[in-house]
Homo-oligomer: A and B are copies of this chain.
């Protein structure tokens, strides 16, 4: 795990440094809005999606500097979705990563706007770099498809409709493939888009890897919501249950969910086995996703 911890820290610091640099160089005329955006963006977080952009990209020999824009952009989308998800009209959560959520720290209207502006920032940043225009355009298209009514937003809408209901496992799978899976997958596919001369078979294996990892991520989150320590996970344990959310443990039982998690873990590792690259870091990251305590 040593290489993983070191690289997670390295990428995390790189991202936070870039975000701080961005906001110090781009001073919005609306100070409170900008403060709320930074509060949400720099409020800890595991930086899972930027990690996947950087780790996948470096594995495929993409220069780190080309990976910065997609890493920042996907984290902006993720951060905006959390702000809106936490709103009273959505999950009504007051704590996120152990800190007050954006609408508690600021106010609801500012939180809505901060989420909106963070989404915009993702596309601003992806369209501001000096890379090859057709590649930048491809990244924007991938990220928008993964975030909107064919991706994350669709998943969140299905999640709302699934609350207080028992749904089939296939529906739960679709819901999570969209709600969390789409951004995990696009983190990997954006990095692959920037690689030169990549074999289509490699793209397929990477897709299989990220699909399994994305689902594993969600199943683990559901398990942590039951077994996790509130202090460590940064939000009240049992909040899915309190919200009457459809989860894997509620559908498969806790043991069934754990077995499913192991299957997904194996699928992810199996997909990595097929790659003609040094997959150590992504392999260690997959282990981390299923074994983490937060």
Instruction: Report how many residues on chain A are interfacial, defined by Cβ distance under 8 Å.
Output: 55
B149 touches A120 (CB 8 A): yes
This chain's copy number in the assembly: 2
Instruction: Determine the distance from Cα of A128 to Cα of B140 in the docked complex, in whole angstroms.
Output: 9
Chain A 212-253, CB within 8 Å of chain B: the 1/0 string? Answer: 000000000000000000000000000000000000000000
Find residues 156-181 in chain A having any chain B CB closer than 8 Å to their own CB. 156-158, 160-161, 174, 178
Minimum distance in angstroms from A64 CB to a CB of chain B: 22
Q: In this assembly, does A10 line the interface, its C-beta being within 8 Å of a C-beta of chain B?
A: no
A116 touches B84 (CB 8 A): yes
Instruction: Determine the distance from Cα of A126 to Cα of B126 in the docked complex, in whole angstroms.
Output: 13
Chain A 16-47, CB within 8 Å of chain B: the 1/0 string? Answer: 00000000001011101110010000000000
Binds B, one of A130-138, A257-265, A274-282: A130-138
Binds B, one of A49-57, A106-114, A187-195, A201-209: A106-114
Interface majority SS (helix, strand, loop, mixed), chain A: helix
Minimum distance in angstroms from A167 CB to a CB of chain B: 13
Q: In this assembly, does A63 line the interface, its C-beta being within 8 Å of a C-beta of chain B?
A: no
B124 touches A145 (CB 8 A): yes
Q: In this assembly, does A254 line the interface, its C-beta being within 8 Å of a C-beta of chain B?
A: no
- Asked whether A137 and B148 contact (CB < 8 A) given A30-B153, A33-B153, the answer is no
A124 touches B110 (CB 8 A): no
Contact of A149 among B37, B123, B127, B160 (CB under 8 A): B37
**Which residue of A37, A116, A134 has the most chain B CB atoms within 10 A of its CB atom?**
A116
B153 touches A113 (CB 8 A): yes
B117 touches A149 (CB 8 A): yes
Residues of A within 8 A of B (CB): 26, 28-30, 32-34, 37, 80-81, 84, 87-90, 107-110, 112-113, 115-117, 119-121, 123-124, 126-128, 133-134, 136-138, 140-141, 144-145, 147-150, 153-158, 160-161, 174, 178
